[in-house]
Amino acid sequence: MSESPLLELRGVDKSFGPVQVLRDVDFSVRPGEVTALVGDNGAGKSTLVKCISGIHAADSGEFFFEGQPVTVSGPRDAAALGIDVVYQDLALCDNLDVVQNMFLGRERRSGLVLDEPAMEELAARTLAALSVKTISSLRQHVASLSGGQRQTVAIAKAVLWNSRLVILDEPTAALGLAQTAQVLELLRRLADNGLAVVLISHNMNDVFAVSDRIAALYLGQMVAQVRTTDVTHAQVVELITSGRSGRLGTTAEGGAGYHSAKTSGAGQ
């Protein structure tokens, strides 16, 4: 695990008309770690991710990538940095097979025709590197895959294009226990391979099973970003529902106690 953030946001604000959705948000993610981004509906999680991925432009704030200031003014800028988002709808085409989905819009050609052998080989190599054994044929249509297998294809597609930060929006929301376990194992392997991973989830069991750090949003403010081992389930739920838990979270002055986990009795 690295102590130096791959991506760091400082003082990010975002409003839509009179509604301020993000207020002075600080957020950092590190290579080799899974950071769980948690918060109730309306806390600002989706808006924060859309600012990171360039879909929305932040009103103010600073973005740093590998310690250097960067400007993310659109999805192309985010993609150029190696930031990829796997949304809940997965953006897969049911009528295409696994290889075709992984190379959709970025097909390789040999002269005037598609280089099917090269694409199939690279897709197989990517899945093998992630230790994926749940997909029996790369030529299966995605429509025939289970929810967990579809999630695996979407994640592998992101990894194929040399992503350095992968953000996943509720990747286990519609999955059963066995498929959830497979996807969580895959997220852990991504981090173990050196990628920075952000997991957006309402499922505290998933959060504690796979994350290294937890970042909690409450009403548009980042109220805590702490190591997972320093907090309990109950404390995270309190942060999500009220913005504070003991010395963690918002204070009377309206600040946020990011580094108070060890002094708040967490994990004891």
What is the mean predicted confidence (pLDDT) over 196-213?
96
Both tokens of 106, joined, read 């970025």
Tell me which amino acid residue 164 is.
R
Residues 146-178 have pLDDT tens digits of 989 999 999 998 888 878 999 999 998 888 888
Write out the CATH class of domain 1-82+164-268. alpha beta
What pLDDT score was predicted for residue 265?
Answer: 40
What is the DSSP-derived secondary structure letter of residue 189? H
pLDDT at 255 over 70: no
Vertex 8: Cα angle to 51 and 12 (nearest 5): 45
Both tokens of 108, joined, read 């390789």
Distance CA 229, CA 133 (A): 30
Distance CA 149, CA 157 (A): 12
Distance CA 211, CA 236 (A): 13
CA-closest candidate to residue 205, choices 250, 245, 237: 237
What is the mean predicted confidence (pLDDT) over 26-52?
96
What is the mean predicted confidence (pLDDT) over 199-226?
96
pLDDT at 264 over 50: no
Residues 217-244 have pLDDT tens digits of 999 999 999 999 999 999 999 999 999 9
What pLDDT score was predicted for residue 161?
Answer: 81
5-14, 100-109, 244-253, range with the lowest pLDDT: 244-253
Helical ranges in the chain per DSSP H: 45-52, 75-81, 98-102, 116-129, 147-160, 177-192, 204-210, 233-242
Residues 55-76 have pLDDT tens digits of 999 999 999 999 999 999 999 9
Domain boundaries, the chain: 1-82+164-268, 92-163
Q: What is the DSSP string of 62-103?
A: EEEETTEEE---SHHHHHHHTEEEE-TTTT--TTSBHHHHHT
